[in-house]
Amino acid sequence: MTQINHAGLAPDQASLAPVWRRLRSDDAQGMARAANELGARFPPPEEGYEEDEAFIYLPVSVLAREGHDVRQDHIAFALGEEVLVTLEPEGGFAPFDRALTILRRRPGIPRTAHGVMYALLQAVNSASNQILELASAALEGMNRKIRLIAEGYDEAGRELTTDDIGETMAELNDREELVSRILESQLLLARAARYLRAEVEDAELRGQIETLISDIQSIKEHAGFEHDKVRYLQQSVMTSLNVKQNQVVKVFTIITAVFLPPTLIATFYGMNFSVMPELSWEWGFTATILLTLLAALLPLWYIKRKGWLR
């Protein structure tokens, strides 16, 4: 079990306490102390990038994974010359804990405010990459379902309905929203990394940050590819839905075409004319039935001959 020192911090984090102050959005006292002792006053996230005499404030919207669930969190960096202050959600932010592992595994990263922020951004980027891989795997798993929709039948041979197609479309919409959030997160991460690079003077750390920016960009490009894939799959499902709806309209059109001539004949015989010679014919009723049947079969024969029943 990891030991906790008297300051309430794990040993790795305790050694970073002089350069890294972790705050949570529900810790009013901690935020007040940071404001009084360091001058760190976080602006609202919607105000975006801010800067004062002591800090550069960089809000970032990121995705965090909890089991099979993914939630969107808002974190903020206050980067100073000697101190980094981070503002996490109420329940904490797991990638920040994993950043300690990065710092422990790579002793070459300076234990400064800039070095710690580099490790934090790298941990957040890795977390985004994991979520993107999960989203990509989920999309690959939907390919078979979409192929069945295109064929019109499920694996049991049951004809798929518009409700089945609608459920698949809703699932794709959820995937598109997730990938769009990853894209937004990568854009904000890239901006934070560029601001960090501008503040760093150490050549080695600048090189590492350059590599991190390239990694962020590559994940962003991957997310863009997955977003295009989702849009293509959505278009495929919508095409299948349109075909299904057109088939329903075609059936009703054929039914109308078959029954319209008999309906017209029945309308004639529903009129109150005083002279209708066929009423006195011996075979008048039979002739009328045959005429009505012929009027129904002729349109059906023509439709089948044109191939409109396929």
Rounded CA-CA distance 250/308 in Å is 8
- Per-residue tens of pLDDT for the chain, all 310 residues: 333 333 444 546 677 888 999 999 888 898 899 889 888 888 887 777 788 888 999 999 888 877 777 888 889 999 999 999 999 988 888 888 888 888 888 888 888 999 999 999 999 999 999 999 988 888 887 877 887 777 777 777 777 777 777 888 888 888 889 999 999 999 999 999 999 999 998 899 999 999 999 999 999 999 999 999 888 888 888 877 777 777 778 888 888 888 888 888 788 777 777 777 777 777 878 888 888 888 888 888 887 887 776 6
pLDDT computed for residue 1 by the predictor: 31
- Cβ distance 79 to 195 under 8 Å? yes
Q: Which amino acid is at 60?
A: V
pLDDT computed for residue 293 by the predictor: 87
Q: Which residues of 123-142 are buried (b: 16+ CB within 10 A; e: fewer)?
A: bbbebbbebbeebbeebeeb
- Cβ distance 95 to 131 under 8 Å? no
- Cβ distance 40 to 54 under 8 Å? yes
pTM of the complete model:
0.74
List the beta bridge partners of residue 71.
64
Nearest-5° Cα angle at 251, 247 to 257 = 140
- What count of Cα atoms within 13 Å lies in the side-chain half-sphere of residue 194? 10
pLDDT computed for residue 8 by the predictor: 46
pLDDT computed for residue 218 by the predictor: 95
pLDDT computed for residue 51 by the predictor: 86
pLDDT computed for residue 117 by the predictor: 94
How many angstroms separate the Cα of 16 from the Cα of each of 22, 180, 287?
A: 10, 34, 101
Parallel/antiparallel/unpaired status of strands 56-66 and 50-51: antiparallel
What strands, in cross-sheet order, belong to the sheet with 56-66? 20-24, 84-88, 69-79, 56-66, 50-51
- What count of Cα atoms within 13 Å lies in the side-chain half-sphere of residue 250? 13
